[in-house]
Structures are given as structure tokens and as C-alpha cells.
Amino acid sequence: MYADMVTARHYEERLQEEYLEGKQPAFDISAGPIPGELHLAAGHEASGAGVCQHLRDDDTVTAPHRPHHVAIAKGVDLKRMTAEIFGREIGLGKGKGGHMHLFDPEVKFACSGIIAEGCPPAAGAAMAAKKRNTDSVAVAFLGEGAIDQGAFLESLNLAAVHDLPVVFVIEDNDWAISMPKERVTDVQDGSQRAKGFDMPGVRVDSDDAVAVYEAAGEAIGRARDRNGPSVLELQVHRRMGHFMGDPETYRSDEDQDAAQARDSIERLAETLRGHGVDDATIDSLREAAHDRVEEAIEWAKEQPQPEPEAAHEDVWVNPPSGVTDTEPEYDLAGGDD
Amino acid sequence: MSKQSQRVERDLTMSRGMVEAIAHEMRENDEVFYMGEDVADYGGIFDSTQGLLDEFGYDRIMDVPISETAYLGAAVGAAQEGMRPIAELMFVDFFGVAMDQIYNQMAKNTYMSGGNVSVPMVLTAAVGGTYNDAAQHSQTLYGTFAHVPGIKVVVPSTAYDAKGLMHNAIRDDDPVLYMFHKRLMGIGWMPAPDGPKTPVPEEDYTIPFGSADVKREGEDVTIVTLGLHVHRALEAAEQLADDGVDAEVVDLRSLVPLDTDTIVGSVEKTGRLVVVDEDYRSFGVTGEIVATVADESLAALDAVERVAVPDVPIPYARPLEQEVIPDVDDIAAAVERTQ
Ligand SMILES: Cc1ncc(C[n+]2csc(CCOP(=O)(O)OP(=O)(O)O)c2C)c(N)n1
């Protein structure tokens, strides 16, 4: 868990640096090696790591627009994910998806930039598992700002009536872009919504990765044992702006300071020390994570850009006649993991 | 604002032009209000409501939960009560989560009530790519909405047009979809071309829907387009002028209603038609314009070219996105093919 968390944190720090390259002094979103929006998840690490610890490659995860920490914890190929974010031909989506749309079918990971829209497909993956009588499960991650969306509430109901092996994980970072939680809901505890659908809803009120791990273990175990769906709400925090370049003028300094003070990674390191893990071990985990991140980023940056003509491929798996073939002409081998 | 106010002409960005019209209408009419995600404290992700919160407060510049079905539908309901809501869909790409409220309720209630119910609302939405945000955040989708009867569809390309069209949109008794291109708004983090920043009168004025604007006169070929691509077409026209081709650039400004007369008149003069659209090619604006001209004046057509996104989702990586979104060279090349 600690390794996943420090990998995610360092990954985001490095992406931030890369992203800002070419965008200085005046921030231009379309300039630099990583264009487009970039949503970093610093402060969310305990959620991805604590939940995904319980998952296998054959369990499905859907993530929202802030996906990197979950992808890393789920075991998405880090090199090809990075290549995707840099828009390279060998990226997970051949440079077509970018950071909000990462797909790694090897470990059944997908994400979408449309709020709450990962919930119905997660229910569908759970439906497939149930029909095929396997013991795999599905987990949908979404933000606390997303739980007012119909797709979430409709999925809860569908999952409940069909007893689907799915867990809905709400990452509560108190903010939905500029909207503080209290301005968009009167119910502070989002996990309570589960009650309306007659399923368990649990909230972990701290950035404590161990508590997340335990609560997630119960929820996922319940799904795996075919005892039905549940909701797990995790308090995380947002250390940065909503997206890179967000001036955060709507947010008070105190709120930002409070977020910085609640560091789940430091907290887990303390816990580890308390259990007799020495600093050398913790440092070596962190250093190994940093090396892995550096390697992925350096590798990704060396990869070629896609040929412009490739834009016309992959609209279909089975293109109607007269439409360009989708067969890649290049060798996709070369990722890690 | 009184009609006598001085005609000081200042250059405004497109977002300032829009906001000025909204502020004016809100001052004049207490029933006008604005709803959307991040429209209050943030001022709109694309500056579409910048500064309005200070003057009008949270009751009239309303941040809403991420629940497009609920708040776009609520705008329909409030409009049916006679209020004049403006509801913002942050990116047009998100329409799917609320499409029923848009195309079954907002668009059709007037007709199904035999004209007894009106829905005087404005739906604003950011459109367009050119900044590598991939397929769920870069669409233009002009054709999708223009295809549904009952929605007026407006697309400004300059600050002057943005203001006049917004005044008209808020005063219109029918639902108006006001689609603004992110790249034209004049936001710091997405530099605009020079064109959209124009002089804008301080007083209110309207630009009637269905009045296309000839942004450049020419004799040899008619380029029909809208939004960002007006500026790309103008740039292409300047390049072509050096090669002795004199292009006329027609800015549609609204798709519904469509100013057929201006388009046909121009093609009858030039004999050649190039339609440029940032939306998907098939079943879209380019096909519609060509068919309209063919219907009205087939004999005038000596040559036709369509320039649009080649029916692929907008890809993320820069070389891929540049491949599919028409640029100045694509437009110039299409014009040359007609000569
Ligand atoms: C349907 C839809 N509406 C609006 C948006 C724009 N949007 C992207 S992220 C976001 C806020 C999400 O907040 P939350 O779910 O709390 O997640 P967080 O960003 O805090 O991790 C919004 C409004 C979107 N992507 N999709």
C-alpha cells in the first residue's frame, strides 16, 4: 500500500513538472509536452491504494477524470499509461484517449471524463461476473460531487435489485471544482444514500490508509461472497487545484493549509514505524517507487508520436467496407509489468 | 442603459461581450437568472459569467449540483412559468446525461402543447477542440442540436456578434442553444486568435437570428462557416488572395434559423462553395448547406467542397487532433480544388 501511495504521489509531482514545461511564463493549456486538461490526485492516494489492495486482475475498476492513483494501485501498465498521457503511439490508447480516458483491459481498468458515468458500466461488469458465476467483483470510483448524478443513483438501484457484486467508492475531497460540498448537498455523509437502496453504506472519515483498507476489505469481501453491493465513502483531500492551471481563487488559504496538513502518506509511514518498520525500509520503498516513476517517464518521452493518419483508425473493430482498417502496423509490445 | 449613452467603442473579448449582454438583461428583468456548474465563484470555466456574482449574488447566479438532468430540466420548468433562465452546460459534450430534458422537453413542449406553452430559456454550452482534451471534451456538435426541431441554435464568432446574439437569445420566447467556442472566449489559458476581439458598443443591441454575416467579400468562391472556423477561413482567404483567389467568407451566426438567402446569394455570385465545419462530416452542417444550395439554386453550383471532421471522435495526441480538425491549410486547399 505504501509503495502504491508513494508511486502515485511522485508520479503526480513529476507529471506536474512535465505538464508545466512549455506552458511558462503564460499558461497555455495546449502548449508543452502534455497538453489538454490534467487532473492530479495528490491527497487521494489512500483511497486508490486501500481499495485496490483487495482487487485481482480479473476484477473491474472504473475511475473518473482523476484516475492516476487508482490506475497505479490497480496495476495498470505504468509505462504505457505514461506514454498515453504524453500522447505517444505506444500509449494504452495509442494516444487517442489521454489522461482522462485510460483503458487497460489486461487489468480491467477504464476511466471516463463524464461525471458518474463509470457507475453503470461497473454494474454491468458485476452483472457479467454474476451471470458467469465467477467470484470477480467490480468497483466504481467517483467523487463526492458526482453522487447527485442520475447515473450513480440509478446504478445503486439496479445493483441492489439484482444483488450485483459491485462496490461504489466515493472519494470525498470536499470540492467539486469550485463548489464546496455544503453548497451542493444537504447530506454531509454521502454513504447514507446507500440506505435509500437498502444496501450498506460506510464512511471512513480520515485519511487513514489502514482504516480504508479494512473498510474496503469488508465491502469487497461482501461483494465477492455474493452478498450484494455497497457504498464506501472515503474522506480524502485535494492538495492542488481541480485541474492544473486552476487559480483556486474560490478557496481559502486555511482550507488549502488544512488539506496540506492531512497527509495520508506521512500518516501511513508513521503507522509503519509504529509497527516496527525501520526508516531504511520505508526509504527504500520510496526510492524504488521514485525510480519506477522516473523510468516510466523517461521511457514514455522517448517513444514516437503517432502518425497523423492513425487518427482515422480504431473507430471500429470491424470497419464497414470502405472505412480504413484498424490493424496497427506497429508493434505494441514494450510496456512494463 | 439608456439609448443616449455614449457610443464609446471598446475592444472586448467574446466572453466580455456575452457577459455584458447577460448583465444588461438581468438588470432590466428580474426574471432572468443564470444556473450552472462553477458559474458563481469561478465565473464560469470559460469566463462565461465572469463578474456577474458580484453584482447579482448567489440567488441569480446559481451554482448547482452536478446534475444536468435536474437543473437543465428545472430551467425548462422555470421557463414554462414565464421566467427567463439561462442554464449553462459546461461542455456541450456533457449533453448526453441530460438529453431528454433538452430534446424532448425543452425542444418539443411548445409544439406538443399546440403553441400554448413556451420555453423562453437559453442553454449556453462551450464547444470545440484545438487544445488536446480528447473525445469527451472537444466536440462541436452543431449538427446534433440543429437537427432537432424546436431549438434555435446560435454560434457567435466575435465579441460584437456574441453580445447582440445574446441579447436576442434572452429576449426570444423560444429555447435558444447558444454555443460558444472555447478558443474564441479570450481566456488567459487558451489564447484566442485576433479576430474575435472586436469593438463593442456599450448600449444594448440585437442581432436577429437567421442573419448570416459576410465577414469578407469576394468574387471567386464562397466559404460558408461558423464559430472558430470563421477566423481560420478568413486567414485562408488572406493567403488565397496572394495567389489571386478572392474568397467570400460567410459567417452563419445561427444554424436555426438558417440564412439561406445570404448563402445562396453569395454562391450565385461566385459559383463555388466550400463549407467548413468543426463538427463531424456525415449528416451535419456541411451536407445541409450543400443540399440547401442545391435545392435553391442548383445551376449556380460549379464546384463544391466540404471540410469537416472526418467522422472520428476527436483524438487526444497533438498530431492526431491536428489531423482531424480543419485548419487554415485544409480550407485553402479545399478552395483551390474548386478553382
Ligand atoms: C456530466 C458532467 N458534468 C460536468 C462535468 C465537469 N466536471 C468535471 S470534474 C467536475 C467536478 C467533480 O467533482 P467530484 O466528483 O467531487 O470529483 P473531484 O474532481 O473532486 O475529484 C465537474 C463538474 C463533467 N466532466 N461531466
Convert the pLDDT of each residue in A130-143 to its tens digit.
999 999 999 999 99
- Beta strand B32-36 with B61-63: parallel, antiparallel or unpaired? parallel
**Chain A residues touching B63 at Cβ < 8 A:** 178-179, 183-184
What is the predicted pLDDT for the residue at A24?
83
CA of B41 to the centre of ligand 1 (A): 16
The kind and range of the H/E element at A166 are: strand A166-172
Contact B106, B60 (CB under 8 A): no
In this structure, the residue with its CA closest to atom 7 of ligand 1 is: A115
The 10s digit of each residue's pLDDT in A61-70 is 999 999 999 9
Residue range A15-43: average pLDDT? 95
Give A163's strand partners: none
User: Stretch A207-228: mean pLDDT, rounded?
Assistant: 98
Beta bridge partners of A201: A231
Provide the residue-wise pLDDT of chain B in tens; the chain has 339 residues: 444 455 667 999 999 999 999 999 999 999 999 999 999 999 999 999 999 999 999 999 999 999 999 999 999 999 999 999 999 999 999 999 999 999 999 999 999 999 999 999 999 999 999 999 999 999 999 999 999 999 999 999 999 999 999 999 999 999 999 999 999 999 999 999 999 999 999 999 999 999 999 999 999 999 999 999 999 999 999 999 999 999 999 999 999 999 999 999 999 999 999 999 999 999 999 999 999 999 999 999 999 999 999 999 999 999 999 999 999 999 999 999 999
Residue of B nearest to A146 (CA): B66
Residues of B acting as catalytic residues:
137
Contact B66 A306 (CB under 8 A): no
| Ligand 1 centroid, distance to A175 Cα (angstroms) | 9
- Name chain B contacts of A320, Cβ cutoff 8 Å: none
**Contact at CB, A185 and B65, closer than 8 angstroms:** yes
Atom of ligand 1 nearest to the CA of A65: 9
Given a cut of 70, whether residue A327 has pLDDT beyond it is: no
Which of B216, B170, B176 lies closest to B195, judged by CA? B216
CA of A144 to the centre of ligand 1 (A): 9
Q: Rounded to 5 degrees, what are φ and ψ at B223?
A: -105, 120
User: In Å, how far from its chain's centre is CA A185?
Assistant: 23
Amino acid found at B54:
D
> What is the per-residue pLDDT across B151-200, written as a single tens digit (0 to 9) for each?
999 999 999 999 999 999 999 999 999 999 999 999 999 999 999 999 99
Residue A312 pLDDT greater than 90, yes or no: yes
CA-nearest residue for atom 8, ligand 1, is A115
Nearest CA-CA distance, residue A190 and chain B, Å: 14
A201: left (phi over 0), alpha (psi -120 to 50) or beta: beta
Partner-chain residue, chosen from A37, A115, A311, that has the shortest CB–CB distance to B320: A311
Give ∠ CA B119-B121-B127 in degrees, rounded to 5: 130
pLDDT score for A26: 87
Residue B287, pLDDT score: 98
What distances in angstroms separate CA B176 from CA A280, A317, A325, B19, B122, one per listed residue? 64, 38, 40, 16, 5
- Dihedral sign (CA B141, B147, B153, B155): positive
**pLDDT for A329 beyond 70:** no
Q: Where are the alpha helices (DSSP H) in chain A?
A: 2-20, 45-52, 68-74, 78-85, 119-132, 150-161, 181-184, 209-224, 253-261, 264-274, 279-302
Alpha helices in chain B (DSSP H): 14-28, 52-60, 68-80, 99, 109-112, 142-146, 159-171, 228-242, 260-270, 285-297, 318-324, 328-338
Q: Do A97 and B316 touch (CB under 8 A)?
A: yes
Summarised one tens digit per residue, pLDDT across range A252-276 is 999 999 999 999 999 999 999 999 9
Q: For B57, phi and psi rounded to 5 degrees?
A: 75, 175
Integer Cα distance of A24 and A32 in angstroms:
9
The closest residue, in CA terms, to atom 13 on ligand 1 is A176
> To test ligand 1's pocket by mutation, which of A65, A171, A234, A251 has the most ligand atoms within 8 angstroms of CB?
A65
| Chain A residues touching residue B315 (CB < 8 angstroms) | 95-96, 311
Angle of CA points A283, A286, A287, to nearest 5°: 85
Instruction: Please confirm whether the linkage preceding A120 is cis (ω < 30° from 0).
Output: no
**What band does A333 get if pLDDT is binned at 50, 70 and 90?**
very low
Query: Looking up cell 451542493, which residue turns up?
Result: A184
pLDDT score for B8: 66
Residues of A in contact with B42 (CB under 8 A): 177-178, 249-250
ipTM of the complex: 0.94
B-chain residues near A29 (CB < 8 A): 131, 189-190
B70 lines ligand 1 (CB under 6 A): no
Task: Measure the CA–CA gap between B88 and A201, rounded to whole angstroms.
Answer: 33
B194 CA to centre of own chain = 18
Contacts of A145 in chain B (CB under 8 A): 65-66
B215's CB contacts (< 8 A; 6+ apart) are: B157, B230, B233, B234, B249, B250, B251
Q: Is the pLDDT of residue A337 over 80?
A: no
Pick from A178, A323, A326 the residue to mutate for testing the B interface (most B CBs within 10 Å): A178
Closest ligand 1 atom, residue A116 Cα? 1
Partner-chain residue, chosen from A112, A150, A249, that has the shortest CB–CB distance to B69: A150
Phi and psi torsions of A130, nearest 5°: -65, -45
Q: What distance in Å separates the CA atoms of residue B93 and residue B237, rounded to the nearest whole number?
A: 31
pLDDT digits (tens, 9 = 90+) for B213-252: 999 999 999 999 999 999 999 999 999 999 999 999 999 9
CA distance B237 to B224: 12
Smallest CA-to-CA distance from A70 within A153, A7, A147 is with A7
Q: Is A75 in the pocket of ligand 1 (CB under 6 A)?
A: no
pLDDT over 90 percentage in chain A: 92
- Please tell me the total number of residues recorded for chain A in this structure: 337
Distance from the CA of A177 to the center of ligand 1, in angstroms?
A: 7
* B11, burial (CB in 10 Å: exposed 0-12, middle 13-18, buried 19+): exposed
- Yes or no, beta carbons of A36 and B324 under 8 Å apart: no
User: What pLDDT shows up at residue A42?
Assistant: 97
Side chain identity, residue B241: A
Q: Does residue A326 register a pLDDT over 50?
A: no
Ligand 1 atom nearest to A144, measured from its CA: 16
Measured between CA atoms, the residue of chain A closest to residue B64 is: A184
* Cβ of B42 less than 6 Å from ligand 1: no
C-alpha–C-alpha distance, residues B180 and A138, integer Å: 39
Question: Cβ(B117) to ligand 1 under 6 A?
Answer: no
pLDDT, position A335: 46
| Separation between Cα atoms, residue A284 and residue A303, nearest integer Å | 29
**Interchain proximity A145–B66, CB inside 8 Å:** yes
User: Which chain A residues are closer than 8 Å to B320 by Cβ?
Assistant: 87, 95-96, 306, 308, 310-311
Q: Judge whether residue A248 has pLDDT over 80.
A: yes
Atom of ligand 1 at shortest range from CA of A142: 15
CA dihedral of A46, A49, A53, A55, whole degrees rounded to 10: 110
Residue of B nearest to A84 (CA): B317
CA of A252 to the centre of ligand 1 (A): 20
How far is the centre of ligand 1, averaged over its atoms, from the C-alpha of B100 (Å)? 21
R_g of chain A computed on alpha carbons: 20
Residue pointed to by grid coordinates 465467477: A134
Which chain A residue has the Cα nearest residue B189?
A28
What local confidence, expressed as pLDDT, does residue B323 receive? Answer: 98
